[in-house]
Amino acid sequence: MANIQVLSELLETSASACENFINSEMALNDGEIMESQKHSKNGQILMKALISDTFKEVEELGNNSLETNDYDIASNMELVKALNNISKCVGSLLSTNEAENDTLKNIAIKNLFKAINTAKEIYQTLFEN
């Protein structure tokens, strides 16, 4: 089974980044620009940590094909969806146990990589260009 500590870190950090980007959008909708920027900055800090560290550790699970999931235009909400998808994929991976067919585990890992690649691509489009 994949390293539980790495998957836990991925789950916790991606969920926290997701929460910050949601809070940023909510504050923006309420006209609270400073609050929106604060949450966006916190989300960006968490994404930088994921990209520079955690995503690299997760890649040790298997072969990352660099595929992404389809999404519309890069936006905070698309990033939220991608981060939420990471959480769902971590759950799927954790639910596969060693007694099951490796096919399920391989599918879960492939889907996790696609979710990670999508989140990374959207983040880089929004904040690094």
- pLDDT, residue 3, reads 83
End-to-end CA distance of the chain: 37
Tokens standing for 125?
């489009």
Tens of pLDDT, residue by residue over 55-100, are: 999 998 888 989 999 999 999 999 999 999 999 999 988 888 665 6
**pLDDT (average), residues 109-123:** 96
CA distance 94 to 107: 12
- pLDDT, residue 27, reads 97
CA distance 53 to 108: 21
Q: Token pair 């660099």 is at which residue?
A: 66
Q: Give the Cβ contact number of residue 118 at 10 Å.
A: 23
- pLDDT, residue 61, reads 82
- pLDDT, residue 82, reads 97
**In contact, 123 and 75? CB cutoff 8 Å:** no
Q: Token pair 């909510």 is at which residue?
A: 26
Tens of pLDDT, residue by residue over 26-67, are: 999 999 999 999 999 999 999 999 999 999 999 988 889 899
Alpha carbon dihedral 85, 91, 92, 98, in 10-degree steps, equals: 150
With a CB cutoff of 8 Å and minimum separation 6, the contacts of 103 are: none
- pLDDT, residue 63, reads 86
39: amino acid identity, one letter: H
- pLDDT, residue 94, reads 87
The residue with greater pLDDT, 125 or 60, is 125
- pLDDT, residue 97, reads 65
CA distance 24 to 34: 9
Write down the pTM of the prediction.
Answer: 0.91
